[in-house]
């Protein structure tokens, strides 16, 4: 049981370190709710909503693992994709819309290992999971993870006798 407590404590410490900049006075971002550990026994970090963050800020550009949502306004679909893909990371994303055609179109253009539509974080064992860019390479789960240990090598053998041509013209 002690190992489990240590693991939870380490996770909470990592989350606190990665979100320590939320309380920085010079930060332009606004913490709408959450943003600080709960004042109770244990290592708990509440869901946190952040607004007014600049695109080049650490909270937008970083890869925060925890219950943190940064809301960034956009002008149109193209602008949303530009903002979403303007990152060195690409583990996961979600697209929220009532328009299924838009959801599929945008999802195909988001640079991330997984994109959920109107949801975030459900993981199925039969679906590949893994990031791109600075979020890592390769996949875990599904048969895709086994392919990481293989090398595709295409070999083609012609079984017919070679045809002798009188000229260089193709047969």
Token pair belonging to 60 = 């937008």
Neighbours of 64 (CB within 10 A): 19
Please measure the distance between the N-terminal and C-terminal CA atoms of the chain and give it in whole angstroms. 75
Closest CA to 137 of 85, 145, 108: 145
pLDDT digits (tens, 9 = 90+) for 74-83: 999 999 999 9
- Residue 117, φ and ψ in degrees, nearest 5: -110, 120
Q: Which pLDDT does position 125 carry in this prediction?
A: 85
- With residue 8 as reference, give the H or E element that holds it: helix 2-18
Token pair, residue 11, equals 């996770």
Task: Find out whether 23 and 37 touch, Cβ atoms under 8 Å.
Answer: no
d(CA 140, CA 121): 15
Q: Per-residue pLDDT tens for 112-164?
A: 999 999 999 888 888 888 899 999 878 888 888 888 888 888 888 878 887 77
Over residues 29-49, the pLDDT tens digits come to 899 999 888 888 887 889 999
Which residues, including other chains, have CB under 8 Å from residue 128's CB and lie 6 or more apart? 139, 140, 141, 142, 144, 145
Rounded Cα gap, residues 143 and 158, in angstroms: 31
């Amino acid at each position: 049981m002690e190992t489990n407590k240590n693991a939870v404590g380490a996770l909470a410490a990592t989350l606190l370190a990665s979100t320590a900049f939320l309380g920085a006075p010079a930060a332009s971002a606004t913490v709408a709710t959450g943003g600080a550990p709960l004042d109770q026994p244990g290592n708990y970090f509440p869901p946190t909503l952040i607004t007014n963050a600049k695109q080049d800020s650490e909270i937008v550009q970083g890869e925060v693992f925890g219950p943190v949502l940064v809301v960034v306004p956009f002008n149109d679909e193209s602008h949303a994709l530009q903002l979403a893909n303007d990152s060195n990371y690409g583990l996961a994303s979600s697209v929220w819309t009532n328009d299924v055609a838009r959801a599929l179109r945008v999802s195909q253009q988001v640079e991330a290992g997984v994109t959920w539509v109107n949801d975030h974080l459900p993981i199925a064992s039969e679906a590949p999971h893994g990031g791109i860019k600075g979020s890592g390479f390769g996949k875990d789960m599904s048969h895709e993870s086994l392919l990481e240990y293989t090398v595709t090598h295409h070999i083609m053998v012609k079984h017919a006798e070679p045809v002798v041509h009188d000229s260089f013209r193709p047969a």
